[in-house]
Amino acid sequence: MINVTRSSMPPFEEYCEEIRGLWDSRWLTNMGEKHQALEQALRDYLGCDYLALHTNGHLALENLLEAFGLKGEIITTPFTFASTTHAIVRCGCTPVFADIDPVSFTLDPKKIEEKITEKTAAILPVHVYGRLCDVDAIAAIGKKHGIPVIYDAAHAFGVFRNGVSSAAFGDAAMFSFHATKVFHSIEGGLAVCRNGETLRRLNDLKNFGIHGPEEVPYVGGNAKMNEFCAAMGLCNLRHLEEEIGKRRRVVEHYRARLEGAAGLQLSPDQEGVRSNNAYFPVVFDGFRLDRDQVFARLAEKGVNTRKYFYPLTNSFACYAGKPGFDPAETPVAAHVADRVLTLPLYADLSGEDVDRICDIILK
Protein backbone atom coordinates (compact mmCIF):
# COMPACT_ATOMS: atom_id res chain seq x y z
CA MET A 1 0.00 0.00 0.00
CA ILE A 2 1.19 3.52 -0.81
CA ASN A 3 -0.11 6.33 1.36
CA VAL A 4 -0.62 9.87 0.10
CA THR A 5 1.93 11.15 2.60
CA ARG A 6 4.39 9.94 5.20
CA SER A 7 5.85 12.14 7.92
CA SER A 8 9.56 12.87 7.72
CA MET A 9 11.56 11.93 10.81
CA PRO A 10 15.02 12.96 11.98
CA PRO A 11 17.41 10.17 13.04
CA PHE A 12 16.10 8.67 16.31
CA GLU A 13 19.36 9.40 18.17
CA GLU A 14 19.29 13.03 17.09
CA TYR A 15 15.85 13.56 18.59
CA CYS A 16 16.83 11.73 21.81
CA GLU A 17 19.89 13.98 22.14
CA GLU A 18 17.71 17.05 21.57
CA ILE A 19 15.28 16.16 24.39
CA ARG A 20 17.85 14.77 26.86
CA GLY A 21 18.21 18.06 28.73
CA LEU A 22 14.49 18.15 29.50
CA TRP A 23 15.04 15.37 32.07
CA ASP A 24 17.29 17.73 33.99
CA SER A 25 15.47 21.01 33.51
CA ARG A 26 11.97 19.54 34.03
CA TRP A 27 10.76 22.54 32.00
CA LEU A 28 8.36 20.95 29.52
CA THR A 29 6.36 23.85 28.11
CA ASN A 30 5.71 27.60 28.64
CA MET A 31 8.31 29.05 26.32
CA GLY A 32 11.27 26.98 27.53
CA GLU A 33 14.73 26.55 26.09
CA LYS A 34 13.70 24.53 23.00
CA HIS A 35 10.86 26.91 22.22
CA GLN A 36 13.25 29.86 22.33
CA ALA A 37 15.88 28.05 20.27
CA LEU A 38 13.33 27.12 17.59
CA GLU A 39 11.99 30.69 17.38
CA GLN A 40 15.55 31.95 16.91
CA ALA A 41 16.33 29.32 14.26
CA LEU A 42 13.13 30.28 12.43
CA ARG A 43 13.96 34.00 12.56
CA ASP A 44 17.27 33.18 10.93
CA TYR A 45 15.81 30.82 8.32
CA LEU A 46 12.85 33.00 7.35
CA GLY A 47 14.57 36.36 7.69
CA CYS A 48 11.72 37.66 9.89
CA ASP A 49 12.19 39.27 13.31
CA TYR A 50 8.63 39.05 14.61
CA LEU A 51 7.23 35.55 15.00
CA ALA A 52 5.43 33.41 17.56
CA LEU A 53 5.29 29.62 17.76
CA HIS A 54 1.87 28.08 18.40
CA THR A 55 0.35 24.68 19.23
CA ASN A 56 -0.81 24.40 15.61
CA GLY A 57 -1.32 26.45 12.50
CA HIS A 58 -5.04 26.88 13.01
CA LEU A 59 -4.68 28.60 16.38
CA ALA A 60 -1.85 30.73 15.00
CA LEU A 61 -4.28 31.94 12.33
CA GLU A 62 -7.10 32.59 14.81
CA ASN A 63 -4.69 34.55 17.03
CA LEU A 64 -3.49 36.60 14.07
CA LEU A 65 -7.05 37.58 13.14
CA GLU A 66 -7.66 38.44 16.79
CA ALA A 67 -4.38 40.37 17.16
CA PHE A 68 -5.29 42.53 14.15
CA GLY A 69 -8.64 43.28 15.82
CA LEU A 70 -10.56 42.46 12.64
CA LYS A 71 -14.32 43.03 12.43
CA GLY A 72 -16.46 42.64 9.31
CA GLU A 73 -15.70 40.94 6.01
CA ILE A 74 -12.57 39.05 5.08
CA ILE A 75 -12.01 38.28 1.41
CA THR A 76 -10.70 34.74 1.02
CA THR A 77 -10.65 31.62 -1.15
CA PRO A 78 -12.93 28.57 -0.86
CA PHE A 79 -10.15 26.43 -2.41
CA THR A 80 -8.45 25.67 0.90
CA PHE A 81 -8.49 23.45 3.95
CA ALA A 82 -11.40 23.83 6.41
CA SER A 83 -9.14 25.72 8.82
CA THR A 84 -8.95 28.97 6.82
CA THR A 85 -12.70 29.55 6.57
CA HIS A 86 -13.43 28.27 10.08
CA ALA A 87 -10.82 30.63 11.57
CA ILE A 88 -12.57 33.62 9.99
CA VAL A 89 -16.01 32.54 11.25
CA ARG A 90 -14.77 31.56 14.72
CA CYS A 91 -13.24 35.04 15.09
CA GLY A 92 -16.64 36.62 14.42
CA CYS A 93 -15.86 37.80 10.90
CA THR A 94 -17.66 37.01 7.63
CA PRO A 95 -15.80 35.21 4.84
CA VAL A 96 -16.40 36.70 1.39
CA PHE A 97 -15.32 34.24 -1.27
CA ALA A 98 -13.49 35.35 -4.40
CA ASP A 99 -12.61 32.97 -7.22
CA ILE A 100 -9.20 31.48 -8.01
CA ASP A 101 -6.88 31.58 -11.00
CA PRO A 102 -7.14 28.34 -13.05
CA VAL A 103 -3.35 27.85 -13.30
CA SER A 104 -2.01 28.88 -9.88
CA PHE A 105 -5.17 27.75 -7.97
CA THR A 106 -4.70 30.85 -5.76
CA LEU A 107 -6.93 33.93 -5.43
CA ASP A 108 -7.33 35.90 -8.65
CA PRO A 109 -6.41 39.53 -7.79
CA LYS A 110 -9.08 40.90 -10.16
CA LYS A 111 -11.74 38.89 -8.32
CA ILE A 112 -10.48 40.16 -4.95
CA GLU A 113 -10.87 43.77 -6.07
CA GLU A 114 -14.47 43.15 -7.19
CA LYS A 115 -15.38 41.99 -3.67
CA ILE A 116 -14.03 44.99 -1.76
CA THR A 117 -16.66 47.04 0.10
CA GLU A 118 -16.56 49.48 3.00
CA LYS A 119 -17.00 46.45 5.28
CA THR A 120 -13.82 44.70 4.08
CA ALA A 121 -11.47 44.28 7.05
CA ALA A 122 -8.72 42.13 5.49
CA ILE A 123 -7.67 39.82 2.67
CA LEU A 124 -6.80 36.22 3.58
CA PRO A 125 -5.26 34.45 0.59
CA VAL A 126 -3.82 30.92 0.68
CA HIS A 127 -0.58 29.79 -0.98
CA VAL A 128 -1.63 26.35 -2.20
CA TYR A 129 0.48 23.23 -2.82
CA GLY A 130 3.75 25.11 -2.18
CA ARG A 131 3.07 27.67 -4.92
CA LEU A 132 2.82 31.38 -4.18
CA CYS A 133 -0.13 33.71 -4.68
CA ASP A 134 0.28 36.74 -6.92
CA VAL A 135 1.81 38.51 -3.92
CA ASP A 136 2.68 41.77 -5.72
CA ALA A 137 -0.80 42.36 -7.13
CA ILE A 138 -2.39 41.45 -3.77
CA ALA A 139 -0.04 43.79 -1.87
CA ALA A 140 -1.01 46.61 -4.24
CA ILE A 141 -4.74 45.99 -3.60
CA GLY A 142 -4.21 45.95 0.16
CA LYS A 143 -2.24 49.17 0.03
CA LYS A 144 -4.70 50.93 -2.28
CA HIS A 145 -7.63 50.17 0.04
CA GLY A 146 -5.74 50.37 3.33
CA ILE A 147 -6.55 46.80 4.40
CA PRO A 148 -4.14 44.21 5.78
CA VAL A 149 -3.18 41.06 3.87
CA ILE A 150 -2.80 37.98 6.08
CA TYR A 151 -1.53 34.85 4.32
CA ASP A 152 -2.45 31.28 5.12
CA ALA A 153 1.03 30.00 4.25
CA ALA A 154 0.41 26.54 5.75
CA HIS A 155 1.63 24.91 2.51
CA ALA A 156 4.48 27.30 1.86
CA PHE A 157 7.21 26.81 4.48
CA GLY A 158 10.55 26.63 2.68
CA VAL A 159 9.25 28.43 -0.42
CA PHE A 160 11.42 31.34 -1.60
CA ARG A 161 10.95 33.87 -4.39
CA ASN A 162 14.23 35.29 -5.67
CA GLY A 163 15.79 34.41 -2.31
CA VAL A 164 13.00 36.00 -0.24
CA SER A 165 11.04 33.61 1.96
CA SER A 166 7.26 33.27 1.72
CA ALA A 167 7.11 34.62 5.31
CA ALA A 168 8.06 38.07 4.03
CA PHE A 169 4.85 38.59 2.04
CA GLY A 170 1.78 40.31 3.45
CA ASP A 171 1.20 42.07 6.76
CA ALA A 172 1.25 38.68 8.47
CA ALA A 173 1.44 34.98 7.67
CA MET A 174 0.59 31.68 9.28
CA PHE A 175 2.55 28.45 8.81
CA SER A 176 1.48 24.98 9.83
CA PHE A 177 4.00 22.56 11.30
CA HIS A 178 1.57 19.62 11.27
CA ALA A 179 3.04 16.12 10.85
CA THR A 180 1.88 15.96 7.22
CA LYS A 181 3.57 19.20 6.17
CA VAL A 182 7.03 19.47 4.52
CA PHE A 183 8.46 20.83 7.76
CA HIS A 184 6.82 19.73 10.99
CA SER A 185 7.04 19.74 14.77
CA ILE A 186 4.53 16.84 15.15
CA GLU A 187 1.81 19.47 15.72
CA GLY A 188 2.73 23.11 15.54
CA GLY A 189 2.28 26.44 13.88
CA LEU A 190 3.82 29.84 13.47
CA ALA A 191 2.43 33.36 13.26
CA VAL A 192 4.67 35.92 11.55
CA CYS A 193 3.96 39.65 11.82
CA ARG A 194 5.78 42.92 11.17
CA ASN A 195 6.11 44.76 14.48
CA GLY A 196 6.67 44.31 18.19
CA GLU A 197 3.21 45.52 19.20
CA THR A 198 1.40 42.82 17.19
CA LEU A 199 3.89 40.23 18.40
CA ARG A 200 3.26 41.19 22.03
CA ARG A 201 -0.45 40.68 21.47
CA LEU A 202 0.12 37.29 19.80
CA ASN A 203 2.34 36.11 22.64
CA ASP A 204 -0.27 37.19 25.21
CA LEU A 205 -3.16 35.65 23.24
CA LYS A 206 -1.46 32.25 23.06
CA ASN A 207 -1.04 32.27 26.86
CA PHE A 208 -4.57 32.99 28.16
CA GLY A 209 -4.23 36.71 27.42
CA ILE A 210 -1.75 36.98 30.30
CA HIS A 211 0.96 39.60 29.87
CA GLY A 212 2.49 39.49 33.33
CA PRO A 213 1.78 37.76 36.67
CA GLU A 214 -0.76 40.44 37.59
CA GLU A 215 -1.71 41.76 34.18
CA VAL A 216 -4.32 40.17 31.88
CA PRO A 217 -5.15 42.54 29.02
CA TYR A 218 -6.78 40.02 26.62
CA VAL A 219 -9.37 37.23 26.59
CA GLY A 220 -6.86 34.69 25.32
CA GLY A 221 -6.84 30.92 24.89
CA ASN A 222 -4.00 28.44 25.20
CA ALA A 223 -1.87 27.82 22.13
CA LYS A 224 1.64 27.35 23.52
CA MET A 225 4.00 24.92 21.80
CA ASN A 226 5.56 22.38 24.19
CA GLU A 227 9.27 21.54 24.42
CA PHE A 228 8.98 18.09 22.80
CA CYS A 229 7.37 19.57 19.70
CA ALA A 230 9.90 22.41 19.59
CA ALA A 231 12.72 19.81 19.82
CA MET A 232 11.23 17.93 16.84
CA GLY A 233 11.11 21.22 14.94
CA LEU A 234 14.77 21.93 15.72
CA CYS A 235 15.78 18.50 14.40
CA ASN A 236 13.62 18.65 11.27
CA LEU A 237 14.84 22.15 10.41
CA ARG A 238 18.40 20.77 10.11
CA HIS A 239 17.17 18.31 7.47
CA LEU A 240 14.74 20.59 5.64
CA GLU A 241 16.83 21.31 2.54
CA GLU A 242 17.57 17.61 2.12
CA GLU A 243 13.84 16.87 2.52
CA ILE A 244 12.88 19.43 -0.15
CA GLY A 245 15.56 18.07 -2.51
CA LYS A 246 14.26 14.49 -2.16
CA ARG A 247 10.71 15.66 -2.80
CA ARG A 248 11.96 17.49 -5.88
CA ARG A 249 13.23 14.21 -7.32
CA VAL A 250 9.78 12.64 -6.87
CA VAL A 251 8.09 15.65 -8.51
CA GLU A 252 10.47 15.51 -11.48
CA HIS A 253 9.83 11.79 -11.89
CA TYR A 254 6.05 12.36 -11.92
CA ARG A 255 6.46 15.14 -14.47
CA ALA A 256 8.64 13.02 -16.74
CA ARG A 257 5.96 10.34 -16.76
CA LEU A 258 2.76 12.43 -16.89
CA GLU A 259 3.62 15.63 -18.74
CA GLY A 260 1.90 15.83 -22.12
CA ALA A 261 -0.64 13.06 -21.42
CA ALA A 262 -4.02 14.05 -22.87
CA GLY A 263 -6.53 15.31 -20.32
CA LEU A 264 -4.02 15.82 -17.49
CA GLN A 265 -3.20 19.30 -16.22
CA LEU A 266 -0.05 19.50 -14.10
CA SER A 267 1.17 22.52 -12.13
CA PRO A 268 4.04 24.34 -13.84
CA ASP A 269 6.93 25.88 -11.88
CA GLN A 270 6.53 29.56 -11.08
CA GLU A 271 9.13 31.98 -12.40
CA GLY A 272 11.77 32.79 -9.76
CA VAL A 273 10.06 30.62 -7.14
CA ARG A 274 11.86 27.81 -5.32
CA SER A 275 8.94 25.56 -4.33
CA ASN A 276 9.02 23.23 -1.31
CA ASN A 277 7.39 20.49 -3.45
CA ALA A 278 4.67 20.06 -0.85
CA TYR A 279 2.04 18.41 -3.07
CA PHE A 280 1.65 17.02 -6.58
CA PRO A 281 -1.81 17.99 -7.83
CA VAL A 282 -3.16 16.65 -11.12
CA VAL A 283 -6.35 18.03 -12.70
CA PHE A 284 -8.23 15.41 -14.72
CA ASP A 285 -9.98 17.52 -17.31
CA GLY A 286 -11.05 15.73 -20.48
CA PHE A 287 -9.22 12.55 -19.42
CA ARG A 288 -10.71 9.12 -20.33
CA LEU A 289 -11.85 8.68 -16.74
CA ASP A 290 -13.14 11.33 -14.37
CA ARG A 291 -11.36 12.20 -11.14
CA ASP A 292 -13.53 9.99 -8.93
CA GLN A 293 -12.95 7.00 -11.22
CA VAL A 294 -9.17 7.54 -11.15
CA PHE A 295 -9.32 7.88 -7.35
CA ALA A 296 -11.24 4.58 -7.10
CA ARG A 297 -8.95 2.66 -9.52
CA LEU A 298 -5.86 3.77 -7.61
CA ALA A 299 -7.47 2.89 -4.26
CA GLU A 300 -8.32 -0.62 -5.54
CA LYS A 301 -4.63 -1.12 -6.25
CA GLY A 302 -3.55 0.14 -2.81
CA VAL A 303 -2.62 3.70 -3.78
CA ASN A 304 -4.13 6.36 -1.57
CA THR A 305 -4.60 9.75 -3.19
CA ARG A 306 -6.47 12.75 -1.86
CA LYS A 307 -9.24 14.91 -3.31
CA TYR A 308 -7.54 18.03 -2.04
CA PHE A 309 -9.24 20.52 -1.91
CA TYR A 310 -12.66 18.96 -2.26
CA PRO A 311 -15.30 19.87 -1.24
CA LEU A 312 -14.85 23.64 -1.38
CA THR A 313 -15.28 25.29 2.01
CA ASN A 314 -18.19 27.36 0.66
CA SER A 315 -20.15 24.12 0.22
CA PHE A 316 -19.62 22.71 3.74
CA ALA A 317 -22.78 21.46 5.49
CA CYS A 318 -22.03 23.61 8.55
CA TYR A 319 -22.53 26.73 6.42
CA ALA A 320 -25.59 25.54 4.47
CA GLY A 321 -28.05 28.34 3.80
CA LYS A 322 -25.66 31.13 4.83
CA PRO A 323 -25.58 33.96 2.32
CA GLY A 324 -22.42 34.00 0.19
CA PHE A 325 -21.68 30.31 0.74
CA ASP A 326 -22.32 29.04 -2.78
CA PRO A 327 -19.76 27.19 -4.92
CA ALA A 328 -21.60 28.43 -8.04
CA GLU A 329 -20.26 31.91 -7.20
CA THR A 330 -16.68 30.63 -7.52
CA PRO A 331 -16.95 28.60 -10.76
CA VAL A 332 -13.20 28.20 -11.39
CA ALA A 333 -12.66 26.85 -7.87
CA ALA A 334 -15.67 24.53 -8.31
CA HIS A 335 -14.28 23.26 -11.63
CA VAL A 336 -10.84 22.49 -10.16
CA ALA A 337 -12.21 20.99 -6.92
CA ASP A 338 -14.27 18.49 -8.95
CA ARG A 339 -11.28 17.38 -11.01
CA VAL A 340 -8.17 17.56 -8.83
CA LEU A 341 -6.32 14.74 -7.13
CA THR A 342 -3.07 15.03 -5.19
CA LEU A 343 -0.78 12.05 -5.77
CA PRO A 344 1.40 10.39 -3.11
CA LEU A 345 4.43 12.54 -2.35
CA TYR A 346 7.02 12.20 0.39
CA ALA A 347 10.80 12.28 0.60
CA ASP A 348 11.45 8.53 0.41
CA LEU A 349 8.76 7.58 -2.10
CA SER A 350 10.70 5.31 -4.45
CA GLY A 351 11.02 5.67 -8.21
CA GLU A 352 9.41 2.22 -8.63
CA ASP A 353 6.39 3.37 -6.66
CA VAL A 354 6.07 6.55 -8.76
CA ASP A 355 6.23 4.37 -11.90
CA ARG A 356 3.57 2.03 -10.51
CA ILE A 357 1.25 4.98 -9.75
CA CYS A 358 1.79 6.50 -13.20
CA ASP A 359 1.26 3.14 -14.92
CA ILE A 360 -2.11 2.73 -13.21
CA ILE A 361 -3.20 6.24 -14.23
CA LEU A 362 -1.97 6.02 -17.83
CA LYS A 363 -3.16 2.48 -18.48
In this complex, which beta carbon is closest to ligand PLP, that of residue 152 or of residue 204?
152
Structural contact between residues 104 and 111, judged by C-beta atoms closer than 8 angstroms: no
Q: From the CB of 276, what's the least distance to ligand PLP, in Å?
A: 12
Return the half-sphere exposure (C-beta side, CA atoms, 13 A cut-off) of residue 243.
Answer: 24
As a whole number of angstroms, the distance between CA 126 and CA 138 comes to 12
With beta carbons less than 8 A apart as the criterion, state whether 77 and 84 touch: yes
Q: What are phi and psi of 94, to 5 degrees?
A: -110, 120
- List of residues 6+ apart from 286 with CB closer than 8 A: 262, 263
Amino acid at 206: K
Q: How far is the CB of 150 from ligand PLP (least distance, A)?
A: 12
Q: Does 126 bind ligand PLP (CB under 6 A)?
A: yes
Distances (CA, A) of 336 to 80, 312, 330, 332: 12, 10, 10, 6
Residue least distant from ligand PLP (Cβ): 57
Q: DSSP for 68-90, please give it.
A: TT--SEEEE-SSS-HHHHHHHHH
Instruction: Identify the bridge partners of residue 281 per DSSP, sorted by sequence position.
Output: 342
Min dist CB 102 to ligand PLP, Å, is 19
- Pick one of 10, 57, 142, 220: the residue that binds ligand PLP (CB under 6 A): 57
- Of 6-14, 79-87, 212-220, 317-325, the segment contacting ligand PLP by CB under 6 A is 79-87
246 phi and psi, to 5 degrees? -65, -40
Nearer to ligand PLP, 56 or 305 (CB): 56
177 to 236, contacts with ligand PLP by CB under 6 A? 178, 189
Residue placing its CB nearer to ligand PLP in the complex, 148 or 189 = 189
Site for ligand PLP in 128-167 (CB under 6 A): 152, 154-155
Which among 339, 332, 272, 278 is positioned nearest to 310, based on CA atoms?
339
**In this chain, which of 2, 8, 42, 56 binds ligand PLP, going by CB under 6 A?**
56
Q: How far apart are CA 232 and CA 209, in angstroms?
A: 27
The Cα–Cα gap between 266 and 18 comes to 40
Establish if 327 lies at the interface with ligand PLP (CB under 6 A): no
Among 8, 63, 84, 236, binds ligand PLP (CB under 6 A): 84
When asked if residue 277 is in the footprint of ligand PLP (CB under 6 A), the reply is no
176 near ligand PLP (CB under 6 A): yes
Q: Which residue lies nearer to ligand PLP by CB, 180 or 350?
A: 180
Quick one: 93 or 258, whose CB is closer to ligand PLP?
93
Q: Which residues bind ligand PLP (CB under 6 A)?
A: 56-58, 80-81, 83-84, 126, 152, 154-155, 176, 178, 189
